[in-house]
A and B are shown apart, each in its own frame.
Chain A
């Protein structure tokens, strides 16, 4: 039971290389790679010079199960992920009800196992009901398989509660993920303050809210020693703080959603609610600073921040409309915009989308090295297409890229050496 990829442009984020070669998969794991003549083994896939990279590990996917299955289910999300080259979805606990007890986590794990073609690692809430008052049973949740702990966009405002949660989590070695937007400044805001939001007359929040939120969390990390990941750093002002914390040796990492790397506040245009995100889209200066921070590695992780919303919750005046966008299928082509613009190399992109998130969660995936699970994505980085949102596999179609010209098509996705997506072009 072996599978040989030949003529592949191997994107190896660990070795930081991008070159032609072959890759052999045996028993669901990578058993060899190299250049030159491949060993004559089993089934062969001729990649014809297309890119073969480690599958994407996407931290922060919202699957609306339990509670809002009409927006997204594990089946539809899993299919979207497979089609987008995402081989591991790390799912959010901001469901209805929140995933805050082992029984709910067990339900989610079972649903995922039954219907999702890709791996699913559920995250747990940090406090019960994401209310910021009592911590969840962190130990039991870890035993039940929680990948990390987060209250998502509900920030724990009580520092005493937050410090106890962090301290308790530290004791168990759990990873805590924080949303670093100061909740008081952010209240009611739907845009980033500045010339543009003011002209549109939208309630806005200063980009400084992010730095304030990050500063607080970093102080709590310094105080408690917890392993910490900031879900989305989106403003240039927050970067020096992050850099200093890393230099001081705190166990800190940071992520960013793909939309904040590829869009800016002006894209909202005439109140287009598909561009309403949390945190709101930032200035072009911030977007460029973030892309640079991903290139240097200061920002570790790129996520889809996949957030399904039905048509009804988006067909409202901007202030009333729901936030978030679906992105499992558009993550890779959107990220490739940064590659085509010359901002990031392919190994740098996959370091942020596959290797770093896997490392942060202690997974073996996210790399092409011998022995790693064969979670792979084969794609053509140049293939052009115009996105039609109604062709997305997600149940919800709320993408800001509707009608956008994009480049980059996934040709095949494998999880543990098994194909989960692709046109079977095999010899």
Chain B
């Protein structure tokens, strides 16, 4: 077993072997999920708390199901409605919760770095479920697992990440992960949505879909994050769709067997054509959601094994 982390705060701190360890375990969980075989209750007796300081339906549900499948006691805290509104600071909230002795803490926060700050103040394992525009590690892991299962490998692929890179933590985690595993990464989007300095990340940057998609094995679309935009980044949604929305015509520039991914929720007709999104021959969007549960199960299982009070590992 090569996974030595206490928390899962991001992809940037992980070794490729650690990534492989998570993916291998998740792969097994995915098969069992699909077959309906019951799981070993490795999280039985442990308490998992989901703290979401930002709205989420999909990710929160995915973490909840993942925990329950492995036997954890799962509690959801809607932080927007709670003490934060009463003026309590993030650290005080963390300390209060820590005193209740949870084992796994799943946190989403609108500010970059906030999950790390919280992790410094608690004893339990912390999973980053998205912090600001920084990282969303489980999303990158589930994307990686989906790609590995579809393409049979996770290296020497050309992967195009398209759209709102600037506001996307999904893009950042994916760039870390896919880069570490040895893939060729392209970023495609209007210059206003490409973060400054991105060209120095070891990726290729394009502002033309046809050119950027040429020969791609994987086309990863991102949601236009209208809620994170504080001004005009694009002139209109229809112009955006015309230039950067993925449809069959633009996809024709990629490899014939290229797969289409989207982290959801989708804006149909803004960044992706609805028919294409539903095309089971090209789109793996539903599989991504499925892999999400498996990856989160694996991540929580590995962190639970590494927790300080876990029974020592027996080497046979």
Contact = CB atoms under 8 A, between A and B. Distances in A.
Contact of A315 (B89, B111, B132, B196): B89
Interface string A222-261: 0000000000000000000000000000000000000000
B196 A312 contact: no
A194 B196 contact: yes
Contacts of B230: 188
A103 B198 CA distance: 52
B112 A198 contact: no
Contacts of B91: 315-316
Nearest to A272: B113
A201 B172 CA distance: 8
A202 B114 CA distance: 11
Q: Is the interface of A mostly helix, strand, loop or mixed?
A: loop
B151 interface: no
A193 interface: yes
Interface stretch (A32-40, A78-86, A317-325, A367-375): A317-325
Interface in A189-214: 193-202, 204, 206
A198 B198 contact: yes
B202 to A, nearest CB: 10
Given A199-B172, A200-B134, A201-B132, A317 B197 contact: no
B197 A200 contact: no
Interface residues of B, number: 26
Nearest to A204: B196
A198 B117 CA distance: 19
A193 B90 contact: no
A198 B197 contact: yes
Nearest to A315: B91
B133 interface: yes
B271 interface: no
A271 interface: yes
Interface string B132-167: 111100000000000000000000000000000010
B233 interface: no
Interface string B88-114: 011100000000000000000101111
B195 interface: yes
Interface string A297-327: 0000000000000001001111110000000
Contacts of A318: 111-113
Nearest to B199: A195
Interface in B192-227: 195-198, 200-201
A270 B15 CA distance: 18
A55 B135 CA distance: 48
B116 interface: yes
Q: What is the size category of the interface that chain A forms with chain B?
A: 20 to 34
A271 to B, nearest CB: 3
Contacts of A315: 89, 91, 117
A199 B201 contact: yes
Contacts of A195: 196-198, 200-201
Given A199-B172, A312-B89, A317-B117, A193 B111 contact: no
Given A188-B230, A312-B89, A317 B196 contact: no
Interface string B268-281: 00000000000000
Contacts of B296: none
A199 B91 CA distance: 24
Interface string A313-356: 00111111000000000000000000000000000000000000
Interface centre among B89, B113, B200, B201 (most CB of A within 10 A): B113
Given A195-B200, A195-B201, A200 B112 contact: yes
Contact of A201 (B89, B117, B133): B133
Nearest to B13: A270
A195 B12 CA distance: 14
A279 to B, nearest CB: 16
B69 interface: no
A317 B132 CA distance: 10
B117 A271 contact: yes
B262 interface: no
A198 B195 contact: yes
B111 A198 contact: no
B7 interface: no
A204 B195 CA distance: 10
Interface of A: 188, 193-202, 204, 206, 270-271, 312, 315-320
Given A193-B196, A195-B196, 20 more contacts: A194-B200, A197-B197, A198-B195, A198-B196, A198-B197, A199-B12, A199-B197, A201-B112, A201-B132, A201-B134, A201-B135, A201-B169, A202-B113, A202-B133, A204-B196, A316-B117, A317-B90, A317-B109, A317-B113, A318-B111
30 contacts: A188-B230, A193-B196, A193-B197, A194-B196, A196-B197, A198-B195, A198-B197, A199-B172, A199-B197, A199-B201, A200-B134, A201-B112, A201-B131, A201-B133, A204-B196, A270-B113, A270-B116, A271-B112, A271-B116, A316-B89, A316-B90, A316-B91, A317-B90, A317-B109, A317-B113, A317-B117, A317-B132, A318-B111, A318-B113, A319-B113
Ranked nearest first, the 6 interchain pairs of A and B with the lowest CB-CB distance are A271-B113, A195-B197, A201-B133, A201-B134, A198-B195, A317-B111
